[in-house]
C-alpha cells in the first residue's frame, strides 16, 4: 500500500456528482443549495466527474464527453468560473466534507491545449498522426509517458489543483505508469498533506487483453503502491453476472474472500452498486425490498462506499455522458432514510482493520458476511432475493438488535429466521 494511506478511508462514504446532470441548471452554483442534503446522507467526500473544458473536435453527442479533456488547468465554462468552483469547494469544506476531482491523464481531446502546445507529449501512429490504443475511444488521443517533460507538466497541474481540492480520482489509472503516480503523490503531498488518491483500475479481462496487444496496464497490486483506493473492477464482472442470474452468488463471495487474502494489509477497494460507466442498480433490481438488501450489503463490505447521484431516488436511467440529462428527483421513491442509517452503522460499528469473511446460500440468494475485530463480531445477512429464509450462523443462541431498524432478531439452535429484510447486528466475539 501507499505508505501514508489513511485507514479511516475504509469507513468513508463518497458521493459522485456529474455537474451537467446534477441539477436543471447544470452549474457549480446550482449544487451549493444541495450540499446540506448530500451531507445528511452521511457523505464524507464529494467526487466531481471531470470539471474541465471539453474538446470539440471529434466530440460525441451534442455536448461531448467530459473525459475528452481540452485543458487540465481550468474549468468548463458551461459549469461556471474558477471563482464559482472555489466557492463550491469552500461550501463543501464548511460542511465538513472533502472535495475530489476527476483527472484524466491517459488522454486528451484531439484539440487540447497540450496537443496545440506540446505535440511531442503524445502517442503517434506509424504515420506520425496522434491516435489512441483503444479503438472505440474515438474522441481522444493518448499521451506518451515516455516523455519526461510530460511528467513535469502533469505533476505541476496536480499541485495547482491540490491547493483547492483534497483528492483525485484518476481515470483509467492503470494505463499510466505507477512510477508516475508515485512521483505525483509525493509532490502533491507537499502541497496538500493527506491528499486522497483513487484509481480507476480496470476490469481483469480488459487488462489482460490490453497487455496481450502490448499496452501498459498496471496490475491492481502494483497500483496500490501509489493509491489509497482502487475500483473493484477485478470482481465486477462476476457481480454483474450474478445480478443477471448467469453466475451463482457464491462465485462472487469467494472472490471477495480472495481479495482479502491476496491484497496488501489495509487494501481499500471502492465499493459501489453503480457508477457513470455501468447500469444503474435499480435497472437490474426494481424491487425495493431486494434493493434494500443490496444497498445494506454495499455498506457492510470492506472498503470505501460510493454512491452515484440519483441512486438515492432509485433512478433506473443512467445519464448520458454526451448530453444533458438531469437526474430524476421525482421518482416517488427515496432511499435516504436507509442510506443515513447505513452510513451511521459504517462510521460507528465497522472498523478499518476488520477481518472480512463472506459466504453465500446459492439456492436462496442470501449473502452472509462477518467482520471480526478484537472482541467484537459483526454479522450481516442480506437476502438478495428478498425472500424469507432460515440462515445457519456461528453465533450463540440469543436475541440481537438489528442495527438497521432496531428490531429484535433471534438465533435459536444455531439458526436465524430472516424475513427478507437486511440484518446487521454485533455481538461479543
pTM, two decimal places: 0.97
Whole-angstrom distance between the N-terminal and C-terminal Cα of the chain?
29
Q: CB count, 10 Å around CB of 258?
A: 12
What pLDDT was estimated at residue 3?
A: 79
Look at phi and psi of residue 308 and say left if phi exceeds 0, alpha if psi is from -120 to 50, else beta.
Answer: beta
Phi/psi at 32 (5° precision): -55, -45
Q: What is the largest CA-CA distance in the chain?
A: 73
Contacts by 241-250, CB closer than 8 A, 24 or more apart: 243/284, 243/285, 244/284, 248/360, 248/362, 249/360, 249/361, 249/362, 249/365, 249/366, 249/367, 249/384, 250/359, 250/360, 250/362
| CB-CB contact of 340 with 404 (8 Å) | no
Cell digits of residue 97: 466534507
Question: Which residue's entry shows cell 491516435?
Answer: 131
Question: Which residue's entry shows cell 501514508?
Answer: 4
What is the residue-level pLDDT of the chain in tens, covering all 429 positions? 787 899 999 999 999 999 999 999 999 999 999 999 999 999 999 999 999 999 999 999 999 999 999 999 999 999 999 999 999 999 999 999 999 999 999 999 999 999 999 999 999 999 999 999 887 889 999 999 999 999 999 999 999 999 999 999 999 999 999 999 999 999 999 999 999 999 999 999 999 999 999 999 999 999 999 999 999 999 999 999 999 999 999 999 999 999 999 999 899 999 999 999 999 999 999 999 999 999 999 999 999 999 999 999 999 999 999 999 999 999 999 999 999 999 999 999 999 999 999 999 999 999 999 999 988 999 999 999 999 999 999 999 999 999 999 999 999 999 999 999 999 999 998
- The secondary structure element, H or E, covering residue 107 is strand 107-108
- CA–CA distances in Å: residue 5 to residues 89, 169, 200, 361: 23, 15, 17, 35
- In sequence order, which residues have a C-beta less than 8 Å from that of residue 129 and are 6 or more positions away? none
DSSP secondary structure code for residue 147 in this structure = -
**Strand locations in 171-235, DSSP E?**
196-199, 229-231
Q: 328 burial class (0-12, 13-18, 19+ CB within 10 angstroms)?
A: middle
d(CA 67, CA 325): 17
249-262 helix and 233-243 helix, angle to the nearest 10 degrees: 170
User: Which among 368, 229, 364 is positioned nearest to 296, based on CA atoms?
Assistant: 368
DSSP secondary structure code for residue 264 in this structure = P
| CB-CB contact of 20 with 34 (8 Å) | no
Look at phi and psi of residue 169 and say left if phi exceeds 0, alpha if psi is from -120 to 50, else beta.
Answer: beta
Counting every residue written for the chain, the total comes to 429
| CB-CB contact of 425 with 402 (8 Å) | yes
Cell digits of residue 217: 496496464
- In sequence order, which residues have a C-beta less than 8 Å from that of residue 37 and are 6 or more positions away? none
Phi/psi at 206 (5° precision): -65, -40
Amino acid at each position: 500500500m501507499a505508505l501514508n494511506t489513511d485507514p479511516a478511508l475504509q469507513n468513508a462514504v463518497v458521493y459522485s456528482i456529474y455537474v451537467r446532470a446534477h441539477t436543471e441548471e447544470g452549474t457549480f452554483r446550482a449544487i451549493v443549495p444541495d450540499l446540506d442534503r448530500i451531507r445528511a446522507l452521511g457523505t464524507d467526500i464529494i467526487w466531481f466527474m471531470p470539471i474541465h473544458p471539453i474538446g470539440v473536435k471529434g466530440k460525441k453527442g451534442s455536448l461531448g464527453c467530459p473525459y475528452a479533456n481540452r485543458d487540465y488547468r481550468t474549468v468548463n465554462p458551461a459549469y461556471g468560473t474558477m471563482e464559482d468552483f472555489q466557492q463550491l469547494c469552500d461550501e463543501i469544506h464548511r460542511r465538513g466534507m472533502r472535495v475530489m476531482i476527476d483527472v484524466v491523464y491517459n488522454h486528451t481531446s484531439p484539440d487540447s491545449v497540450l496537443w496545440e502546445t506540446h505535440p511531442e507529449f503524445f502517442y503517434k501512429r506509424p504515420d506520425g498522426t496522434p491516435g489512441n490504443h483503444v479503438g472505440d475511444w474515438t474522441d481522444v488521443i493518448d499521451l506518451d509517458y515516455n516523455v519526461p517533460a510530460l511528467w513535469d507538466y502533469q505533476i505541476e497541474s496536480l499541485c495547482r489543483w491540490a491547493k483547492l481540492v483534497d483528492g483525485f480520482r484518476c481515470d483509467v489509472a492503470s494505463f499510466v505508469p505507477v512510477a508516475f503516480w508515485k512521483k505525483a503523490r509525493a509532490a502533491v503531498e507537499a502541497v496538500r498533506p493527506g491528499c486522497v488518491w483513487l484509481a480507476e483500475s480496470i476490469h481483469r479481462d480488459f487488462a489482460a487483453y490490453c497487455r496481450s496487444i502490448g499496452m501498459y496496464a498496471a496490475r491492481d497490486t502494483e497500483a496500490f503502491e501509489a493509491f489509497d483506493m482502487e475500483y473493484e473492477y477485478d470482481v465486477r464482472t462476476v457481480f454483474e453476472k450474478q445480478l443477471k442470474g448467469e453466475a451463482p452468488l457464491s462465485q462472487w463471495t469467494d472472490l471477495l474472500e480472495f481479495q482479502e487474502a491476496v491484497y496488501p494489509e489495509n487494501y481499500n477497494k471502492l465499493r459501489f452498486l453503480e457508477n457513470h460507466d455501468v447500469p444503474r442498480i435499480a435497472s437490474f433490481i426494481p424491487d425495493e425490498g431486494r434493493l434494500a438488501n443490496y444497498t445494506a450489503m454495499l455498506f457492510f463490505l470492506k472498503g470505501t462506499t460510493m454512491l452515484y447521484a440519483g441512486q438515492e431516488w432509485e433512478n433506473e436511467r443512467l445519464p448520458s455522458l454526451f448530453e444533458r440529462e438531469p437526474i430524476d428527483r421525482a421518482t416517488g421513491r427515496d432511499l435516504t432514510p436507509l442510506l443515513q442509517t447505513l452510513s451511521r452503522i459504517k462510521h460507528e460499528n465497522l472498523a478499518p482493520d476488520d477481518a472480512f469473511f463472506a459466504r453465500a446460500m446459492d439456492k436462496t440468494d442470501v449473502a452472509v458476511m462477518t467482520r471480526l475485530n478484537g472482541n467484537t463480531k459483526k454479522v450481516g445477512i442480506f437476502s438478495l432475493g428478498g425472500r424469507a429464509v432460515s440462515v445457519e450462523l456461528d453465533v450463540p443462541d440469543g436475541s440481537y438488535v438489528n442495527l438497521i431498524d432496531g428490531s429484535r432478531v433471534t438465533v435459536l439452535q444455531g439458526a436465524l429466521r430472516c424475513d427478507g429484510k437486511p440484518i446487521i447486528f454485533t455481538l461479543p466475539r
